[in-house]
Every structure is written in structure tokens, then in C-alpha cells.
Amino acid sequence: MAEQVLNQFRSDKKLREDCVAIYEAMGMDLNTAFRMFMERTRMEKGLPFPAVLPETKMARAEAQEVIDDIGEEAAELPETMDILGD
């Protein structure tokens, strides 16, 4: 048998209770579920599920502020610009 180590961490009580109930319904305890997670992590060489950032969404007020800022910057520009240097 491989050398055993103790893994400890803190979690939200309700989250733990919910997970324990789910794993018990599947016929396993929390420790077994975490060992399975760790084994799968080793097999995948990373998280055993997709881990991506959610799409960035902007609130209407924030979008309006950006539009207003761009409008103010545009108002400071000359009406026409001589980009060819004529």
C-alpha cells in the first residue's frame, strides 16, 4: 500500500452537505469522491473538466458610460483631418 497522507481544506458547510448527499446517493463517501477527483486529475494532467472564464458581459449603464466617453473624445477632434499631409 502506498504511503498515506492527510489532505485538509475548508469549505462552505452547505456545499459540503450537498456534496455528501450526492455522493452518498451514488454509493460512495466524500473521501472516495475526492480520491477519484485526484486520480482523474493525474490522468488528465489538469482539471478533469473544462475550466474557462465566463463571457464578459457589460451592464447597460456601463455600456452607456463607454459610449458617452467615446462621444466626448470624438467631440475634441477636428471636423476633418489632413491625413495625407496635403
Q: Give tens-digit pLDDT for 40-71.
A: 999 999 999 988 887 888 788 888 888 888 88
Q: What is the mean pLDDT of the chain?
A: 88
- Per-residue pLDDT averaged across 8-36, rounded? 95
Q: Which bin fits 45, alpha (ψ -120 to 50), beta or left (φ > 0)?
A: left
**How would residue 79 be classed by pLDDT, with cut points 50, 70 and 90?**
confident
Q: Is the pLDDT of residue 85 over 70?
A: no
Task: Give CA–CA dist 26/33, Å, rounded.
Answer: 10
DSSP 38-59: HHHHHHHTS-SS---PPPP---
